[in-house]
Amino acid sequence: MIAEIVTVGTEILLGNIVNTNSAYLAVECANLGLTVYYQSVVGDNEERMKAVIRTALDRSDVVILTGGLGPTEDDLTKEVTAEVMGMPLVEDAHSKERIERYMKEYKKNNSQRRITSNNYKQALIPEGALVLDNHNGTAPGLILEKDGKIAILLPGPPVELKPMFTEEVYPYLRKKQPEIIYSQVVKICGIGESQVAEDIQDMIQAQTNPTIAPYAKIGEVHLRITAKASDEKEGKKLIKPVVRELKRRFGRNIFATEAEKTLEEAVVDMLRDQQLTLALAESCTGGEIAARIVNVPGASQVFTHGFVTYSNRAKRKCLGVKKATLKLEGAVSAKCAKEMAKGGCNAAEADICLSITGLAGPDGGTKETPVGTVFMGCCYNGKVVTREFHFTGNRTKIRQQATAHALAFLRECMMEGISKSE
């Protein structure tokens, strides 16, 4: 079945509220095996809402509308949808009783609040519609079916929408859509999107079910493998050989096969598994690598020190970088990165230390050392390796790329045990 998502609310058009509902519903529709071709946002205007809803019902089997179910005059979703589908509004005694009970309980906590008549607007429902009780607010949800088309009306607040969808709408749509979509993510670091795409071109050209879709993130490439199946067990069976082949092709560049697992979590897990302690010596990233590491619960077991040595003086004082190195080679150099890594290991008495120094811009670059030049060093097992990178973009983008590549470099050094020294 083809589904369409329509979000109602002028406040969303104005940017006052971020539209997270559409993203949530799109994921849930994909999980159900529904195909979503269109998403739209329309303000609280009756004529424009009619046009959007008519168009959506013409081209889609299921239209999911969010927002505009409240008690005020500009809450028009139910009224407009009912008119478009030719379903007159009637009072629903069950909904009215629930609204009264909810309002009386609320009034107990605020004696100045009174129950206004406009709240009962929410008890009017399109005749023949299925009512979805709202356990987290007053506006009930609705499912309207007519002439082979389905309109599902959900409240706008995510705290009301999400449980209603999970408890009521998902089971309803599951019965309508026998197939499900099952997917798994393979996450890759250390190589770029173009290389990954080239390496799986034959798989993409031959694919039918399941399919592979690449997504680029800063410093990472994610491959989503998606299968249509009758149930989760069959979906897993279809995806398993594809994941096995990707592991064969990309090997150690794969850091996760779970959607939730981050690169920093993979690094912390590796440190924990190898019983290593980590120190970081950062310059141009200003502590961003440390920030990502400490986002991981349990990082304190492995991460001991983070040095942010932004100035040359700090590099000398905290990490023991030689004055001659800074004078002759410069702070943005392989030798400085090497001495930072070694000095960080010694100062923190850590098993491994990653260092980073570079030019994030926008100023300070030269022909020999342009903006975006970054050097990294890793000291482990008494050896130090360094690597030179060249990133593009503005200051923020360069720092983000440097942080992501630093985590990948650290992971690579641990896997190799730093087999060679500079």
Q: At 410, which CATH number?
A: 3.90.950.20
Look up the pTM and report it. 0.78
246 and 129 together in one domain = no
Asked, for residue 422, whether it belongs to a domain, the answer is no
Asked, for residue 421, whether it belongs to a domain, the answer is no
Q: Are 298 and 272 in contact (CB under 8 A)?
A: yes
24 and 169 together in one domain = yes
Hey, which residues does 150 pair with through a beta bridge? Answer: 62, 145
156 and 300 together in one domain = no
49 and 18 together in one domain = yes
Asked, for residue 9, whether it belongs to a domain, the answer is yes
143 and 189 together in one domain = no
Asked, for residue 375, whether it belongs to a domain, the answer is yes
Asked, for residue 19, whether it belongs to a domain, the answer is yes
The torsion of the CA quartet 104, 108, 114, 119, rounded to 10 degrees, works out to -30
**Enclosing domain of residue 14:** 2-176
pLDDT, tens only, 333-372:
999 999 999 999 999 999 999 999 999 999 999 999 999 9
196 Cβ partners below 8 Å, 6+ apart? Answer: 188, 214, 221, 223, 250
Q: Scanning the structure block, which residue is given the tokens 């010596």?
A: 281
Q: Point out the domain boundary residue: 136, 151, 176.
A: 176
- Position 361, amino acid: G
Q: Point out the domain boundary residue: 191, 223, 256.
A: 256
Q: Scanning the structure block, which residue is given the tokens 């020294």?
A: 421
67 and 203 together in one domain = no
- When computed from its CA atoms, the radius of gyration of the chain, rounded to whole angstroms, is 28
232 and 371 together in one domain = no
pLDDT at 422: 41
pLDDT at 316: 98
pLDDT at 99: 81
Q: Are 386 and 377 in contact (CB under 8 A)?
A: yes
Q: Scanning the structure block, which residue is given the tokens 């697992």?
A: 261
Q: Strand pairing of 141-146 and 211-217?
A: unpaired
pLDDT, tens only, 138-183:
899 999 999 999 999 999 999 999 999 999 999 999 899 888 888 9
pLDDT at 238: 97
191 and 170 together in one domain = no
Averaged pLDDT of the chain? 94
234 and 128 together in one domain = no
9 and 147 together in one domain = yes
Q: Point out the domain boundary residue: 176, 195, 214.
A: 176
Q: Rounded to 5 degrees, what angle do the CA atoms 212, 214, 216 make?
A: 165
326 and 241 together in one domain = no
Q: How many domains does the chain have?
A: 3
pLDDT at 138: 85
The three-state (H, E, C) secondary structure of the chain, written as one string: CEEEEEEECHHHHCCCCCCHHHHHHHHHHHHHCCEEEEEEEECCCHHHHHHHHHHHHHHCCEEEEECCCCCCCCCCHHHHHHHHHCCCEEECHHHHHHHHHHHHHHHHCCCCCCCCHHHHHHHEEECCCEEECCCCCCCCEEEEEECCEEEEEECCCHHHHHHHHHHHHHHHHHHHCCCEEEEEEEEEECCCHHHHHHHCHHHHHHCCCCEEEEEEECCEEEEEEEEEECCHHHHHHHHHHHHHHHHHHHHHHEEECCCCCCHHHHHHHHHHHCCCCEEEEECCCCCHHHHHHHCCCCHHHCEEEEEECCCHHHHHHHHCCCHHHHHHCCCCCHHHHHHHHHHHHHHHCCCEEEEEEECCCCCCCCCCCCCCEEEEEEEECCEEEEEEEECCCCHHHHHHHHHHHHHHHHHHHHHHCCCCCC
78 and 55 together in one domain = yes
Over the chain (422 residues), what is each successive 10-residue block's mean pLDDT? 96 95 94 92 97 98 96 93 97 88 72 69 94 91 97 97 96 88 94 94 95 93 94 94 97 96 98 97 98 98 98 98 97 98 98 98 92 97 95 96 97 81 40
pLDDT, tens only, 186-211:
999 999 999 999 999 999 999 999 99
How many other C-beta atoms lie within 10 A of the C-beta of residue 381?
12
